[in-house]
Amino acid sequence: MADAGFSGLMVIQRSNEMSLTRKHYPFTEFEARWQKHWMETNAFRAANPGDTDFRPEASKYFVLDMFPYPSGDGLHVGHVEGYTATDILARYRRLCGDNVLHPMGWDAFGLPAEQYAIKTGQHPRITTQKNIDRFRTQLQSLGFSYDWSREISTTDPGYFRWTQWIFLQLYNSWVNPATNRAEPISLYFGNDPDSVRLAFVSDKPVNWCPELGTVLANEEVVDGKSEVGGFPVERRPMRQWMLRITAYTERLISDLDGLDWPDSIKQLQRNWIGRSEGAEVRFPIEGSQAEVTIFTTRPDTLFGATYIVLAPEHPLVDSLTSPEQRAAVDAYKKACSSKSDLERTDLAKEKTGVPLGSSAINPVNGEKIPVWIADYVLTGYGTGAIMAVPAHDERDHEFAMTFNLPIIEVVRAVNAVDQALPTDQQACFSGEGIAINSPILDGLVTTEAKKKIIRWLKEKGYGRGTITYKLRDWLFSRQRYWGEPFPIIWEDGSHRSLSHEELPVEPPEMEDFKPTGTSEPPLSKASDWVRYSETATRELNTMPQWAGSCWYYLRYCDPGNKDRFISREAESYWMGDGAKPGGVDLYVGGTEHAVLHLLYARFWHKVLFDLGHLTTPEPFQKLVNQGMILGDDGQKMSKSRGNVVNPDEVVSEYGADALRLYEMFMGPLEHGKPWSMTGVEGVYRFLARVWRLAMTEDQEGNWGISEDLAEQELTSTQRRVLHATIKKVTQDIESLAFNTAISQMMICTNEFTGAKPRPIESLRILLRLLSPFAPHLCEEIWWRLGTKFPDSGFAGLASQSSWPNWNEEYLVVDEITYAVQINGKVRGHLTVPTSADRESVEKTALCDPAILEILDGKEVKKVIVVPGRLVNLVVAG
């Protein structure tokens, strides 16, 4: 108790001290006021085609943030980073005269809300609304220039009605292999439309998470545990909705080329899709009609195959198991199925496996080779079966060594380094080379050998060239309450879609939305809702959280439309006319969505594009990933480490402008950067210096316009610095190099800090340059100057003024100092008129007495003049 009382006292003393510390500038007096003003005057409203204030001559600029999941923790400094970057761009482009679409919304369906609801008994709608309100308040307290009239939430029936509508577009279409485009299912003339729909039902084994009471997509399972919560996941067969994203693999890869995305993200997507070319080869089974089809990327090594391996779950396992091996095989299968994915993929462990007791015939040479099962072969990839070539595959080699299986070398390395490797059975060479010990391939290089053997296999009917992908179809249903219901009903064991007039399908009001403890979704408990008609029932699954975020950027363009998901006019205006493949001009968000969200959204976009609803084949033209903001210990921010910075606290202590500016000043947007409170104070002091360029404080602590300000001609130095600042800030904003733009504005401020009298022109320019970064401060000074100096160019709002232009002529200086190098080392300096050309600079350098002295008569063999920079004299010895 004594301790508690003592620390309480300390807190009081500390807060007294803090309240005594005068604010460096009175941000508390105006930040909220301007936020209110912008809001009330709709200052950042974007006009759509057809609106009375629409300016057809203005270019459009669509700058988008990855909308947040409104969690109970509130806004994170990481959100602030990306959102500030886009806000700077939005404000900048607005000042440049563009029609800027800069919207915000909520990705509000999803597991955490539902789990919180289950724990507290509160309906997820209530907590979600509360969280949204908190997020909105926080975002508004940072002065982001969103057009709030376009705010959307994925949980709003007016929104998810169209999410369901898009699902029906998928359900009612297929990809015609002839055109490689999605087409209405009515154009499909086969006899089983359900087998080709882009949304279809599957009974394959899925990732079931008992703790969460739902299935998860492969992508949502990390190390055998759920990505959300980290609970164990097991595989069990269940009837599920799938989306046929695999129909788009080739386009999802090739269309990356036209996008302005970081190469690393493109590469991540390519890797995720995992295209690999190879061949399927059929191995007949000895003494049986059965055959095993394997997939390999190295058909050229077929002569080196010494055994076959099936995944333990392969459907042929039972029929190929001999009676003698039955017990061992069953035991092995059981052991595998009880292992978590994490255990199965643990590379450190020894390879395991069991022979089935039957043999396959290698089609190229008639050799009998044993068939095994082993869990290093995965059931979901390729054909779930491989031919093992231990001489040329690390995994097969390890397995062969463990079980003492034969190893046959069929590729010889051609390069000296690889050839130097020992060629005995201890080594494994998995590179390309020259085929050996392979009658019909001997002497061919790997690429040729592959082509030839594929041709051979095809001719003989033993196989064919094929391409496989790691990407699987997208498991699209969840056993949840808090998600979009499917617009699907079931009757007599078959499914059909609801009509568009029946949308939205709203989730039923339920008291109890807890998981049922079985694989039955919670919606099964809403018996009235479930019964659609006498004979039909509703689909009980809901959509995953990704659904709403797959198309939200489209809805922003036309958020209130009741007739279409987006009007054709709004779509073609905001999403571009097809000159570039992507519609959104700039999309900023974290790398964590590099594959899932971005791949899913691209997929939906392409389907809608194929069906004629959109004008561009890609959603996001330019993508930037902001880096992670770390704690001041350089570690990832986390509650357990106690290094989490709460943006609200920074705002109340230093103001929104300081927080925004600091996060931009920390370093390059894409980099991870550690937090530093003293760094925040640094930019805070900078903002105070800008404030004092215009304002002075009297004895009583009241701020008034500085007496030093005057309509005063700029000195040539001042003019040069000012215009250099316009240039640098403009260019740096365009390239998202905000840290260096701020640095230049600091230089500019320092230049004018000591100036008496201080030309008002400095503020007319600087305030506009700084306003995208620190909008409140600039708006306030702008307004005060406009009041004090009417007709001096401070009319209206700073955020609705115009972006200044620089004049190159003002940037030139009269004289330039060149460095004079001798053999690359700086030995002197030389000042010449700016107008001096290359020859005269060279001549001046060679005549300079100091230089001549250092040269000491040595012969100058070569002179390099870098204009405006240096002269390098190359001398012998």
Partner RNA sequence: GGCGGUGUAGUCCAACGGCAGAGACAAGCGACUUAAAAUCGCUCCAGUGUGGGUUCGAGUCCCACCACCGCUACCA
Where in 802-831 is the site for RNA (CB under 7 A)?
A: 817-819, 821, 823-824, 826, 829
- The two structure tokens encoding residue 73: 């923790």
Q: How far is the CB of 178 from RNA (least distance, A)?
A: 27
Q: How far is the CB of 75 from RNA (least distance, A)?
A: 21
Burial 349-379 (b: 16+ CB within 10 A, else e): eebbbbbbbbbbbbbbeeeebbbbbbbbbeb
Measure the CA–CA gap between 179 and 183, rounded to whole angstroms. 9
- Please identify, among the stretches 19-27, 96-104, 330-338, 510-518, the one whose residues bind RNA according to the rule CB under 7 A: 19-27
The alpha carbon dihedral of 116, 118, 124, 126 has a sign of negative
Measure the CA–CA gap between 150 and 51, rounded to whole angstroms. 14
Q: How far is the CB of 50 from RNA (least distance, A)?
A: 43
Pick from 311, 369, 453, 547 the residue near RNA by CB under 7 A: 311
- The two structure tokens encoding residue 428: 């494994």
Q: By CB under 7 A, tell whether 393 contacts RNA.
A: yes
- Please identify, among the stretches 250-258, 613-621, 807-815, 862-870, the one whose residues bind RNA according to the rule CB under 7 A: 862-870
Query: What residues between 461 and 490 interact with RNA by CB under 7 A?
Result: 468, 470
Measure the CA–CA gap between 146 and 153, rounded to whole angstroms. 15
834-837 long-range CB contacts below 8 Å, 24 or more apart? none
- Helix, strand and coil content of the chain, in percent to the nearest 5, comes to 40, 20, 40
Inter-axis angle of helices 677-694 and 760-770, to 10 degrees?
140
Measure the CA–CA gap between 320 and 600, rounded to whole angstroms. 39
- Which CB, 310 or 575, lies closer to RNA? 310
Q: Pick the closest to residue 464 from 361, 368, 363 (CA basis).
A: 363
Pick from 320, 386, 623, 714 the residue near RNA by CB under 7 A: 386
Largest CA distance in the chain: 108
Q: By CB under 7 A, tell whether 172 contacts RNA.
A: no
Rounded to the nearest 5°, which phi and psi values hold at 121?
Answer: 80, 0
Q: By CB under 7 A, tell whether 440 contacts RNA.
A: no
Pick from 235, 452, 692, 720 the residue near RNA by CB under 7 A: 692
Amino acid found at 871 = V
**How many CB atoms neighbour CB 711 within 10 A?**
10
Measure the CA–CA gap between 294 and 283, rounded to whole angstroms. 8
Query: What residues between 216 and 235 interact with RNA by CB under 7 A?
Result: 222
Measure the CA–CA gap between 245 and 218, rounded to whole angstroms. 13
Pick from 267, 288, 527, 638 the residue near RNA by CB under 7 A: 267
Q: How far is the CB of 41 from RNA (least distance, A)?
A: 33
- Please identify, among the stretches 124-132, 198-206, 616-624, 742-750, the one whose residues bind RNA according to the rule CB under 7 A: 742-750
Inter-axis angle of helices 677-694 and 775-788, to 10 degrees?
10
Rounded to the nearest 5°, which phi and psi values hold at 13?
Answer: -60, -45
Pick from 378, 536, 854, 860 the residue near RNA by CB under 7 A: 378
Q: How far is the CB of 375 from RNA (least distance, A)?
A: 6
Burial (CB count within 10 angstroms: exposed 0-12, middle 13-18, buried 19+), residue 756: exposed
636-641 long-range CB contacts below 8 Å, 24 or more apart? 637/76, 637/77, 637/78, 637/675
- Which CB, 325 or 739, lies closer to RNA? 739
Burial (CB count within 10 angstroms: exposed 0-12, middle 13-18, buried 19+), residue 27: buried
Q: By CB under 7 A, tell whether 838 contacts RNA.
A: no
Three-state DSSP class for residue 491: strand
Q: By CB under 7 A, tell whether 351 contacts RNA.
A: yes
Pick from 123, 134, 181, 689 the residue near RNA by CB under 7 A: 689
Measure the CA–CA gap between 824 and 822, rounded to whole angstroms. 5
- Which CB, 663 or 779, lies closer to RNA? 663
Pick from 14, 564, 671, 838 the residue near RNA by CB under 7 A: 671
- Please identify, among the stretches 4-12, 268-276, 515-523, 707-715, the one whose residues bind RNA according to the rule CB under 7 A: 268-276
Q: How far is the CB of 591 from RNA (least distance, A)?
A: 5
Pick from 210, 357, 465, 667 the residue near RNA by CB under 7 A: 667
- Which CB, 183 or 681, lies closer to RNA? 681
- Please identify, among the stretches 140-148, 236-244, 847-855, 868-876, the one whose residues bind RNA according to the rule CB under 7 A: 868-876
Q: How far is the CB of 621 from RNA (least distance, A)?
A: 20
Pick from 628, 644, 705, 855 the residue near RNA by CB under 7 A: 628
Q: What angle do CA 86, 91, 92 make, to 5 degrees?
A: 95
Q: By CB under 7 A, tell whether 685 contacts RNA.
A: yes
Omega of the bond leading into 504 within 30 degrees of 0 (cis): yes
- Which CB, 196 or 832, lies closer to RNA? 832
Pick from 180, 195, 518, 676 the residue near RNA by CB under 7 A: 676
Measure the CA–CA gap between 149 and 584, rounded to whole angstroms. 19
Q: How far is the CB of 872 from RNA (least distance, A)?
A: 4
Q: By CB under 7 A, tell whether 858 contacts RNA.
A: no
Q: How far is the CB of 113 from RNA (least distance, A)?
A: 23
Q: What angle do CA 555, 64, 598 make, to 5 degrees?
A: 80
Q: By CB under 7 A, tell whether 202 contacts RNA.
A: no
- Please identify, among the stretches 7-15, 206-214, 379-387, 705-713, the one whose residues bind RNA according to the rule CB under 7 A: 379-387
Query: What residues between 270 and 299 interact with RNA by CB under 7 A?
Result: 271, 274, 276, 278, 295-298
Amino acid found at 365 = N
Number of shown-chain residues binding RNA (CB under 7 A): 88
- Which CB, 193 or 274, lies closer to RNA? 274
- Please identify, among the stretches 97-105, 509-517, 558-566, 664-672, the one whose residues bind RNA according to the rule CB under 7 A: 664-672
Q: By CB under 7 A, tell whether 679 contacts RNA.
A: yes
Burial (CB count within 10 angstroms: exposed 0-12, middle 13-18, buried 19+), residue 789: middle
Pick from 286, 346, 506, 707 the residue near RNA by CB under 7 A: 346
CA-based Rg of the chain, rounded to a whole angstrom?
34
- Which CB, 278 or 522, lies closer to RNA? 278
H/E run at residue 161: helix 157-171
- Which CB, 165 or 381, lies closer to RNA? 381
Site track 702-741 with RNA (rule: CB under 7 A), x = hit: -----------------------------------x-xx-
Cβ–Cβ under 8 Å, residues 75 and 606:
no
Pick from 24, 79, 450, 602 the residue near RNA by CB under 7 A: 24
- Please identify, among the stretches 43-51, 197-205, 650-658, 662-670, the one whose residues bind RNA according to the rule CB under 7 A: 662-670
- Which CB, 65 or 393, lies closer to RNA? 393
Q: How far is the CB of 832 from RNA (least distance, A)?
A: 11
Query: What residues between 111 and 150 interact with RNA by CB under 7 A?
Result: none
327-335 long-range CB contacts below 8 Å, 24 or more apart? 328/354, 329/354, 329/356, 329/373, 332/373, 333/373
- Which CB, 298 or 660, lies closer to RNA? 298
Measure the CA–CA gap between 630 and 81, rounded to whole angstroms. 12
- Which CB, 395 or 495, lies closer to RNA? 395
Pick from 678, 699, 700, 859 the residue near RNA by CB under 7 A: 678
Query: What residues between 746 and 765 interact with RNA by CB under 7 A?
Result: 746-747, 750, 753-754
